[in-house]
Amino acid sequence: MPLFVDNSPPGQCIFCKLVAGEIPAARVYEDALTLAFMDIGQVNPGHVLVATKRHAATVLDLSPEEAAAVMHTAQRVARAAEQAFAPDGLMLAQFNGRAAGQTVFHYHMHVVPRHDDDGLGLSWRRQDPGAEALQGYAARLREALAAPPAGTA
Ligand code: AMP
Ligand code: ZN
């Protein structure tokens, strides 16, 4: 169970306030569509969040331009973290919806420097459903991609 869940309405959420400069943040970088700042929780030193400036709850709510801008900024920040913190690896992670672990419902990507012995772990239970199931899942997705909901193509 997360310690903190931000259920504020759009425009009043904690990251909207942070983007607007109404609450303090250790800012790292910004462009027209994104803002990068230090995560207050720092799972490892150098842990940055890249948020959209516009309030959008999840990846499903981003424009293609915002999606591209987030990855562009995340890569810039990752390169800076590589230089500044000399990690053994870099983890980019982002969570969509409560079930996926999202606690602040304003879109953001985590950029986390990782170290061989940092002890962080994701619970990632692998399953092996077999080739037939994989083909079935792929067919469902191909069908959905061929007929996306209006306005999302
Ligand atoms: P999640 O929604 O699970 O991807 O995580 C939200 C992240 O936001 C957590 O890692 C928090 O530590 C971080 N966070 C919450 N409030 C602030 C804040 N005011 N400034 C910086 N980071 C924050
Ligand atoms: Zn917001």
Q: DSSP of 75-116, one letter per residue?
A: HHHHHHHHHHH--SEEEEE---SGGGT--B-S-EEEEEEE-T
Confidence of residue 1 (pLDDT cuts 50, 70, 90): very low
Q: Is residue 133 situated within a structural domain? A: no
**What domain range is 72 assigned to?**
14-116
User: How far does the centroid of ligand 1 lie from the alpha carbon of residue 1, in Å?
Assistant: 14
User: How far does the centroid of ligand 1 lie from the alpha carbon of residue 72, in Å?
Assistant: 20
Q: Is the beta carbon of 25 within 6 A of some atom in ligand 1?
A: yes
Number of structural domains (the chain) is 1
Q: Average pLDDT of the chain?
A: 93
| Cα end-to-end span (Å), the chain | 35
Q: What is the CATH number of the domain that holds 77?
A: 3.30.428.10
| Annotated catalytic residue within 47, 106, 108, 115 | 108
Q: Is residue 108 among the annotated active site residues? A: yes
pLDDT at 152: 63
pLDDT 10s digits, 82-112: 999 999 999 999 999 999 999 999 999 999 9
Q: Which two tokens stand for residue 84?
A: 């500044």
Amino acid symbol at 131: A
